[in-house]
């Protein structure tokens, strides 16, 4: 098979699996997950083949795999859709395929496949556990998810959206994949729709990302109206970029390129949960944990960053390496750096194991966005990929921890213990060794533990780029954010795994089945190993031992190959200090903390996420509710529209009853209707006596009539 046709096929298996499960295999749980995992495997296989073939092509950036078909006739021309695999796509496809496959496999264990059905489980609620009797005594074990097949159908559709987005060669199909994921995130966050909090979180996620999507769609429409094409390769031609960069729009002094890039970027702000549209992501933790990993690591939020990376030539149109940033770039850099720091401060004070990770995701995405804003293209891609691996690992790890804790909860039967609260854990390293070591790897990668982990190399590259190119504000902000990242990660690890068990439930926690631990181990290989492909050439001692393949490969995506960064000791030292310092401090502060009361950082403003939910409640939601309930419903609808109707209603009623009373009833009914009937009846009644039944009388009568008629005819006609 040619590579091009193989690329077309990559997104297909998951969507086929979706329809197959929904339509046919719904009832059979084993078949459903086999179909879904099989489909993920096929996509993975296709992605790997394409990746390997992409590696073998020289100058892939200039001669990418591409293939397109005519889609919509637009006057003389066609709107084309198609697939494109250039170095960027190949690199992204690699991590998407891996993480998606791992998450699919993990979901089997997470949803308790092979366990009995629950005693009183309901669809739309998490499983509560089942009682089994063994050797005469009863014990409670986890029960299988009631909507098991449905889950696999949804994540299949989700994977389809992501693969579609990644292999697209144009903004239109990218947007289609983007929106499919929006829908799936809604469905999956609200997967346990029996919980009001899950329902609200689903709606919140959908509405918040929708705000970004509207701007993105405006950006796409604007781009199409200016250039007449949505294909990446055509937009990024020298000529079009130059035109776009030189056309002023009059909006904040941006060029057309800048304005379009900013509009598209706002879509990313929604999708990748950047400030000020970050509020949905922490609440999205209401979904099952594999979904959190899917949304927050492998696919959706990465898609947001991927879109900006794709649009990088547009964002940076009119800018060249070393020059002052364009207004659009400054905006992007500001949002990214601010979000990185802002989310990190919130993560410090969260007690829910998944929420810490959620805020760290927002923060890490801020790193990537900031990197793009200062033009550090390769560093952003590198961090996107390493982050996808270690964040998927961390999320799946946290899911494993929660699963283990739920074991403990089922054992003691005390359902008041929140299995996600880190203060209820402690000492889990002995109970769940595999989860502990893999989580440690993921956490160290997230913190940027020097030399060994992937996170170090990618984060260091961003910091180095910011420093060398003189963006000191961004550099300082990100350095502080990185320090806090290391700090809260170590806080999380310390509270969860180290020390002694703080509750009975934690004492009875159990290691999770192999379907969950194997994906963790595979992902931790990438969380460490993926960093080694991007070690800078001029790094002391080990630089150059392994060629900087990543820079060479992904850098080839752009027409102009980004120059290799000069080595500078300051950012390296900063990286080392913030990572080790943060980790050390996190351990030192939290090694003896046993309850939230002893935690000095439970500051209200941080715990309450800088009150953003409350502010939005007052500034947007309340006015919107007032607008809909009072202004539109009460005043406009019930007052004005209904008021008009209340005039017209009685008026037509009056006219109608007047016509009825003075015309219809007396004239039509009484006179015409009843009158003719009465007349006919009267005539009939009075003519009745002449029908005697005697034939001879009839004959006489007809003879008389004959003579009369004959006489009259004779008199009038002949005489």
Partner 1 sequence: MVPLSWYLIFAAALFSIGLFGVLVRRNAIAILLGVELMLNAVNINLVAFWRYGEALAMTGQVFAVIVFAVAAAEVSVGLALVISVYRRRNTVVADELDMLKW
Residues 165 and 174: beta-carbon distance below 8 Å: yes
By C-alpha distance, which of 269, 346, 268 is closest to 307?
268
Q: How far is the CB of 696 from partner 1 (least distance, A)?
A: 6
414 DSSP 8-state letter: -
Residues 519 and 103: beta-carbon distance below 8 Å: yes
HSE-CB at 339 with a 13 A cutoff on CA atoms is 33
As to burial, measured by CB atoms within 10 angstroms (0-12 exposed, 13-18 middle, 19+ buried), residue 203 is: middle
- The CA angle 27-31-37, to the nearest 5 degrees, is 125
As to burial, measured by CB atoms within 10 angstroms (0-12 exposed, 13-18 middle, 19+ buried), residue 429 is: middle
Q: How far is the CB of 674 from partner 1 (least distance, A)?
A: 23
By C-alpha distance, which of 124, 295, 290 is closest to 208?
295
- Find where tokens 């994906």 sit: 519
Task: Closer to partner 1 by CB, 627 or 681: give it.
Answer: 681
Provide the CA 540 distance to its chain's centre, in angstroms: 41
Q: How far is the CB of 673 from partner 1 (least distance, A)?
A: 25
- Give the contacts of 170 (CB within 8 A, at least 6 positions apart): 68, 80, 81, 82, 229, 230, 231, 232
- Find where tokens 């005390």 sit: 414
| Measured distance CA(537)–CA(549) in Å, rounded | 10
The helix/strand/coil state of 229 is: coil
**Secondary structure, 3-state, 83-95:** EEECHHHHHHHHH
By C-alpha distance, which of 463, 474, 447 is closest to 572?
463
The helix/strand/coil state of 350 is: coil
| Measured distance CA(620)–CA(93) in Å, rounded | 38
As to burial, measured by CB atoms within 10 angstroms (0-12 exposed, 13-18 middle, 19+ buried), residue 699 is: exposed
**Angle between helices 148-167 and 29-55 in degrees, nearest 10:** 20
HSE-CB at 628 with a 13 A cutoff on CA atoms is 5
Binding site for partner 1 (CB under 8 A): 688, 691-696, 699-700, 703
Helix (H) or strand (E) holding 139: strand 137-141
Burial letters 32-71, b for 16+ CB under 10 A, else e: bbebbbebbbbbbebbeebbebbeebeebbeebbbebeee
What is the token pair recorded at 571?
């950012």
By C-alpha distance, which of 343, 283, 280, 346 is closest to 606?
346
Residues 276 and 136: beta-carbon distance below 8 Å: no
Between β-strands 130-134 and 137-141, what pairing exists: parallel, antiparallel or unpaired? Answer: antiparallel
By C-alpha distance, which of 145, 178, 180 is closest to 287?
145
By C-alpha distance, which of 70, 86, 67 is closest to 78?
70
Give CA separation, 482 vs 26, 29, 177, 502, 715, in Å: 45, 43, 32, 29, 127
Task: Closer to partner 1 by CB, 73 or 693: give it.
Answer: 693
Task: Closer to partner 1 by CB, 540 or 693: give it.
Answer: 693
534 DSSP 8-state letter: G
Task: Closer to partner 1 by CB, 677 or 703: give it.
Answer: 703
Q: How far apart are the first and last CA of the chain?
A: 110
Residues 408 and 507: beta-carbon distance below 8 Å: yes
Q: How far is the CB of 693 from partner 1 (least distance, A)?
A: 3
| Measured distance CA(635)–CA(330) in Å, rounded | 44
Task: Closer to partner 1 by CB, 706 or 712: give it.
Answer: 706
Q: How far is the CB of 708 from partner 1 (least distance, A)?
A: 17
């Amino acid at each position: 098979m040619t590579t091009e046709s193989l690329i077309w096929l990559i997104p297909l298996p998951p969507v086929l699996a979706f329809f197959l499960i929904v339509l046919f295999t719904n009832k059979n749980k084993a078949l459903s997950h086999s179909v879904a995992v099989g489909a993920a495997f096929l996509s993975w296989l296709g992605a790997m083949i394409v990746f390997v073939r992409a590696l073998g092509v020289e100058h892939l950036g200039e001669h990418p795999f591409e293939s397109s078909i005519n889609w919509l006739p637009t006057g003389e021309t066609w709107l084309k859709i198609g697939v494109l695999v250039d170095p960027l796509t190949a690199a992204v496809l690699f991590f998407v395929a891996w993480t998606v496959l791992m998450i699919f496999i993990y979901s089997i264990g997470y949803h308790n496949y092979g366990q009995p059905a629950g005693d009183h489980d309901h669809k739309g609620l998490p499983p509560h556990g089942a009682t089994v009797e063994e050797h005469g005594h009863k014990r409670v074990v986890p029960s299988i998810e009631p909507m098991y097949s449905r889950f696999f159908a949804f994540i299949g559709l989700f994977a389809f959206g992501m693969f579609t987005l990644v292999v697209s060669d144009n903004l239109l199909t990218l947007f289609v994949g983007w929106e499919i994921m929006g829908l799936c995130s809604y469905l999956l966050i609200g997967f346990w729709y029996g919980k009001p909090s899950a329902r609200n979180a689903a709606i919140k996620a959908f509405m918040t990302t929708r705000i970004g999507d509207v701007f993105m769609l405006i950006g796409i429409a604007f781009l199409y109206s200016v250039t007449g094409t949505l294909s990446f390769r055509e937009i990024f031609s020298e000529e079009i970029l130059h035109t776009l960069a030189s056309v002023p729009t009059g909006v904040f002094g941006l060029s057309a390129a800048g304005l379009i890039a900013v509009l598209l970027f706002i879509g990313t702000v929604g999708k990748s949960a950047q400030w000020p549209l970050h509020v949905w992501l922490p609440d999205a933790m209401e979904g099952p944990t594999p979904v959190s990993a899917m949304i927050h690591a492998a696919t959706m939020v990465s898609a947001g960053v991927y879109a900006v990376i794709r649009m990088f030539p547009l964002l940076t149109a009119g800018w060249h390496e070393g020059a002052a940033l364009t207004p659009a770039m400054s905006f992007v850099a500001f949002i990214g750096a601010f979000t990185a720091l802002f989310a990190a401060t919130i993560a410090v004070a969260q007690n829910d194991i998944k929420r810490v990770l959620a805020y760290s995701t927002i923060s890490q995405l801020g790193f990537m966005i900031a990197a793009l804003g200062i033009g550090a293209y390769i560093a952003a891609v590198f961090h996107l990929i390493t982050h996808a691996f270690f964040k998927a690992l961390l999320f799946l790890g946290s899911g494993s921890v929660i699963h283990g804790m739920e074991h403990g909860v089922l054992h003691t039967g005390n359902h008041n213990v929140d299995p996600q609260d880190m203060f209820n854990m402690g000492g889990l390293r002995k109970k769940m060794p595999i989860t502990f070591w893999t989580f440690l790897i993921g956490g160290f990668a997230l913190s940027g533990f020097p030399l060994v982990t992937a996170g170090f190399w990618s984060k260091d590259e961003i910091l180095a780029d910011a420093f060398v190119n003189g963006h000191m504000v961004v550099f300082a902000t990100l350095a502080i954010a990185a320090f806090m990242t290391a700090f809260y990660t170590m806080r999380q690890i310390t509270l969860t795994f180290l020390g002694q068990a703080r509750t009975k439930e934690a004492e009875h926690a159990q290691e999770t089945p192999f379907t969950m631990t194997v994906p963790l181990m595979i992902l931790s290989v990438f969380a460490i190993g993926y960093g080694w492909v991007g070690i800078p050439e001029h790094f002391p001692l080990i630089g150059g031992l392994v060629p900087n393949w990543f820079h060479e490969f992904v850098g080839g995506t752009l027409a102009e190959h980004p120059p290799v960064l000069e080595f500078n000791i300051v950012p390296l030292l900063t990286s080392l200090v913030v990572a080790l310092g943060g980790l050390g401090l996190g351990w030192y502060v939290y090694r003896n903390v046993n309850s939230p009361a002893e935690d000095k950082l439970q500051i209200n403003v941080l715990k309450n996420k800088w009150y953003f939910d409350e502010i939005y409640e007052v500034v947007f939601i309340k006015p919107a509710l007032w607008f809909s309930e009072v202004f539109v419903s009460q005043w406009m609808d019930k007052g004005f529209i209904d008021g008009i109707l209340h005039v017209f209603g009685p008026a037509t009623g009056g006219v109608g009853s007047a016509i009825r009373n003075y015309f219809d009833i007396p004239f039509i009914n009484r006179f015409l209707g009843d009158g003719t009937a009465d007349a006919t009846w009267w005539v009939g009644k009075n003519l009745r006596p002449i029908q005697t039944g005697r034939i001879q009388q009839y004959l006489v009568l007809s003879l008389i009539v004959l003579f009369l008629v004959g006489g009259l005819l004779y008199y009038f006609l002949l005489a």
